[in-house]
Structure 1
Amino acid sequence: MDTSTLASTATFAAYFVVMIAIGIGVYNRTRSQSDFVLGGRRLNSWVAGLSANASDFSGWLLLGLPGAVYLSGLGEAWIAVGLGIGFAASWWLIAGRLRIYTERVTDARGGGDSDSLTLSSYLENRFADRSGALRLVSAVLILVFYLFYVASGLKAMGGLFDQVFDMPGDTAIIIGVSIVVLYTFLGGFLAVSLTDVLQAVMMWIALLIVPIVGIVAIRGDTGRETGSFAEILGGVEGSLGDALAPMVIISGLAWGIGYLGQPHILARFMGIRSAADVRRAGTVSVTWAVSAMAMALVLGFTGAVYFQAPLDDPEQVFAQLIQALLSPWVAGLLLAAILAAVMSTADSQLLVGASAVTEDGFRLFLRGRMSAMALVWTSRAAVIVIAILAATIALSGNDTIMDLVSYAWAGFGAGFGPVILYSLYWRRMNRASALAGMIGGGATAILWDVFDTDGISLGPIAFDALGTGLYAMVPAVLVSVVCIVVFQRFGRATPEMEADFDRVEREFRSPGTAPAGR
């Protein structure tokens, strides 16, 4: 075993040990479903803020985005701009109200404060839906799209192990998912959130160091041909003109809308200690996010200049820069940061998916017939099942990390984003409009790429491809909003729903009028 492999093996092993130790450390603090799903709503500002970052940006930030910029140049930077705006908007528009509403809204079935633990249960209680339709639709959307989202993380993990250890991707995916499942299984939300803090710090430091070292190396090589500024901004295969195309700009900026409906990020808003902690947490989180994405863009451009020959796998540009520029032991630590990025999102998504199975499946239909610990163990079993299904997708699919993430991101953003936003600000919104918005947005996100790229044939009827190249988020969100507004006339807000809305609004505007935590 050479020095480089030894260093990477040692640092990866140490990282795995720390993650599992955290899971074991909080195992005995998980005594109820609320503890497992939302950590008992005890996250302070720093943990909530950094955990939101780590659970969000994942391997996409360290592998997908730098790889896309390396290949296509400035055109991919619009995604980062849109995400920065959208992330700040989610903290400002959603976090505080959602934190209060999920706890205060009246239980649709039992009365009293509901303490909703999932988005699905929140929507059911917000719209007094005793039929279970809102829970069912939202749970299905969560499970379907999270299978692809978790698969993207596992695929990133496989690519990293292949790059570092020359290990077959299938083996790497199995090893990686086993570690993630273990500490998520043991510690639930609290373990995931605490590991997220460490992972966020590792990711940020790696993104800071590698571009600086790369730029210094490039400037120190006087014989290197770097090309013109416009050529650099075009990446390896793109051009500056492509980056300024209206459809590229609109599609890139549209990614920001997705933040309004990502369950694994919204769970951090729901789990924060109180609405009063939201402002500080948002400042920490947005500062981290904007600076990290800026460094990821610089990293992609640095790779496009540093490597004279095109890389076989553009999404490994970060890992290859680390191995080319740094000593083995430093490289091992920074490669572990990439692993941290991948695992930090996969664990959060597994947890939310498992929560949907338990809270919106077993608990809904077996209400009152399962003990607190029985629910916890059901959630732990669900973590394993979802992980196996996602690993199957990762092992069998050929899509890139970016493709898998963009598909799931559009699905969540359109399926939940408009519905969540309207539910917090529209007093008269009702069950019919919420259900229509979720179905319309989610279905459009699923079908758009089929119609826009390949066309579709249904027996004698054929639909030509639209060929716009527009990101599915744009039409899917528009459809969702139209459905919400149009279907409003087919239902009504009950006096209890309006009273809940007024009560939450008063508490949000006057902190301290009611206890914010339990």
Structure 2
Amino acid sequence: MAVVIAYGVLLSFVAVRARTARQFSEFSLANRSLPLVLVFGSLAATYVGPAFSIGFVGRGFKSGLLFLGIGLAYSLQNILVGLFVAPRLRQLKGCHTLGDAIGQKYDRKCQILAGVISVGLCAGFAAVMAKAGGDVLRSIFGLPHWSSVIIVVGITALYTTFGGLRASVITDAFQFSAFAILLPITLLWILCFHFNGGAGAFAEQASLATNEGIAATPVIEIVALLVAFLLGETLIPPYANRALASKTTRISRNGFVLAGCFSVAWFAVMVAMGIVARDVITLPQIEAMTPEGKEIEDFVLLTLFKSTMPAAGYALLLVVLISIIMSSLDSLLNAGAVAFTQDIVKPHMNLKDEAALSVGRSATIVIALTAAAGAVAVDSIINGLLICYAIWAPAILPALIIGLWIKRPQPLAGILSMSAGSIVAVTLWVTFNFILHGKTETEIARIIIPALAAAVLAYVAGHWIQTNSQENQKSKCKVQD
């Protein structure tokens, strides 16, 4: 208890030192003043989250090195975004959000639609984080899950509401330094004092788990997971905000590249923990810590900590896990609030800076409440993220990427692409999940690939229709002249 309270006081001190945001530009983009160390640390802290910590340990336990290979698709995505996309995004003038960028490239209607999608997906991602935070806090205090969710979301919303992006980034960097050091040390501790055997025994466990995972996973599912991890988190609003808030284009590029490289090492550590857990703990131990109706893979890491660490160390590591979750949650709350203000409210009314700041703060609270309410519907961390991935990639990426790279993107193409991608993805998810009762990971290919294809085809159709229409109008004008 003392360890938890001490860490909470320290985190609060860091958040207070970050200062209250007094302008909307400070709330949304920290006045575009973030140095490389904060961009890198905040990106890493944001993406690590519960999926890439708790979730990856559970998958390492279940399928060995299979998920390490899948995770590398995410690492590649970060590096590619850093090299080719983030610099182009940062070069745009006056952008606070992805919606702003899409609005500059297309028109205001496209910006509003992108804003609606961004806010909805931020709330969905935040619900997954809230669920994970509730699981960890419940393990510490034995509280009901709903009250644990409210505590985690409430504390995160408090400092994010007043401090904005700067408070989010500075606390993220602090939390990143804590878990980037402590979790690898924990792996070494378990290997030295609890794991039976050396490198040969580890290789044997890894081989056995990987073979089991490959045998149990259809090829189409592996392909779909690779696509989901390659595209599903590409420039989601919190990442885009980091790119836009960096001091320079160079910092934006290098921050993403470094974060991508770090993720390779992080995934290796998390999967290794899952493999080690196969030898150190038993399935009945994990089941004993898993609440009824929840996936046991989400509780492998908690069980491993409890079985191998002294009481103070166990409490500290649980607090570190909460900090990992809060790092992702605060970024999502801030990004969703900024998108709501900049992309949905501002296009309809001329807001003064003070009013925009108030709207952003209010939106932070509303999105936090929505995430807390939605957390009860999340059964598994990885599955929850896969659903968000399956919607985000087709809804936004074709219009965004093509718009950044071609000279004259057509507004109709952007509208049709975002609409088709969103509608097809949501329709397929509802069909497979609620009507056919399919497994999320198995059906992800039947969602993300057709939805991406629909979004691209809709973009091509919209571009062709509007281009032809413009050419016909020019021809008529020439004839009249």
TM-score (norm: length of structure 2): 0.87
Provide structure 2 residue ranges, at least 5 long, that are not aligned to the other structure.
288-295, 471-481
**2: distance between equivalents of 1:390 and 1:12?**
24
- Cα contact 1:199–1:341 (8 A) shared by 2: yes
Distance 2:119 2:444 in 1: 27
Say whether the 8 Å CA contact 1:150–1:390 is kept in structure 2: yes
Q: Distance in 2 between matches of 1:210 and 1:481?
A: 45
1:414 and 2:394 matched: yes
Q: Which amino acid aligns with 1:16?
A: G
Q: Distance in 2 between matches of 1:207 and 1:51?
A: 17
CA contact under 8 A between 1:120 and 1:356: conserved in structure 2? Answer: yes
Q: Does 1:19 align with 2:40?
A: no
Q: 2:210 maps to what in 1?
A: 233
User: Counterpart of 1:510?
Assistant: none
Does residue 1:199 correspond to 2:175, yes or no? yes
Q: List alignment gaps of at least 5 residues for structure 1.
A: 1-8, 104-114, 458-464, 496-518
Q: Tell me the equivalent position of 1:121.
A: 100
What is the distance in 2 between the residues matched to 1:92 and 1:362?
Answer: 32
CA distance in 2, matches of 1:257, 1:475: 14
Distance in 1 between the 2:414 and 2:122 partners?
Answer: 21
Q: Which residue of 2 aligns with 1:307?
A: 281
Of 53, 62, 70, the residue aligned with 2:53 is: 62
- Measured after TM superposition, the shift of residue 218 of structure 1 is 4.6
Stretches (4+) displaced over 6 A = none
Q: Is the 8 A contact 1:433 1:485 kept in 2?
A: yes
Please tell me whether the aligned partners of residues 150 and 349 of structure 1 are also in contact (alpha carbons under 8 angstroms).
yes
Aligned residue in 1 for 2:113: 137
1:361 match: secondary structure: helix
RMSD: 2.6
How far the C-alpha of 1:158 sits from its partner, in A, is 1.0
Counterpart Cα distance in 1 of 2:186 and 2:345: 47
Q: Which residue type is aligned with residue 150 of structure 1? A: A
Distance across 1 between alignment mates of 2:175 and 2:206: 34
Q: Which moved more, 1:210-219 or 1:318-327?
A: 210-219
Q: Which residue of 2 aligns with 1:48?
A: 39
Q: Does 1:326 align with 2:302?
A: no
| Amino acid in structure 2 at the alignment position of 1:148 | G
Instruction: Please give the residue correspondences for 1:88-237 in structure 2 after superposition, counting only pairs within 5 Å.
Output: 88-101=79-92, 103=93, 115-127=94-106, 129=107, 132-220=108-196, 230-234=207-211
For residues 453 and 398 of structure 1, the distance between their equivalents in structure 2, rounded to whole angstroms, comes to: 13
How far has the Cα of 1:333 moved from its partner? 2.4
Provide Cα deviations, 1:374-419, integer angstroms capped at 9, x if missing partner.
2112211111111111111113x25212222111122222211222
**Once the 2 structures are TM-superposed, how far is the Cα of residue 83 of structure 1 from its aligned partner?**
0.9
After superposition, the Cα gap between the structure-2 partners of 1:437 and 1:338, relative to the gap in structure 1 and judged at 3 Å, is: same
Aligned position for 1:250: 223
1:435 Cα offset (Å): 1.4
Q: Does 1:389 align with 2:370?
A: yes
Q: Which residue of 2 aligns with 1:512?
A: none
Structure 2 residue identity aligned to 1:207 = L
Preserved contact between residue 395 and residue 455 of structure 2 (Cα < 8 Å) = yes
Question: Within 2, Cα distance between the matches of 1:215 and 1:156?
Answer: 26
**Which one of the candidate residues 334, 359, 362 is aligned to 1:378?**
359
* Equivalence for 1:39: 30
> Residues 218 and 444 of structure 1: is their aligned pair in 2 closer, same or farther, counting only changes over 3 Å?
farther
Q: 2:243 aligns with which of 259, 262, 269?
A: 269
Q: What SS is found at the alignment partner of 1:31?
A: coil
2:455 aligns with one of 465, 476, 480:
480
Contact 2:76 2:230 (C-alpha < 8 Å) held by counterparts: yes
In 2, the alpha carbon distance for the partners of 1:446 and 1:470 equals: 13
How much has 1:165 moved relative to structure 2?
A: 2.1
Tell me the TM-score normalised to structure 1 length: 0.81
Q: Is the 8 A contact 2:137 2:322 kept in 1?
A: no
Return the alpha-carbon distance in structure 1 between the equivalents of residues 378 and 30 of structure 2: 36
Is 1:261–1:416's contact at 8 Å kept on the other side of the alignment? no
Whole-angstrom CA distance in 2 between matches of 1:356 and 1:203: 29
1:337 has 2:317 as partner: no
Q: Which amino acid aligns with 2:419?
A: I
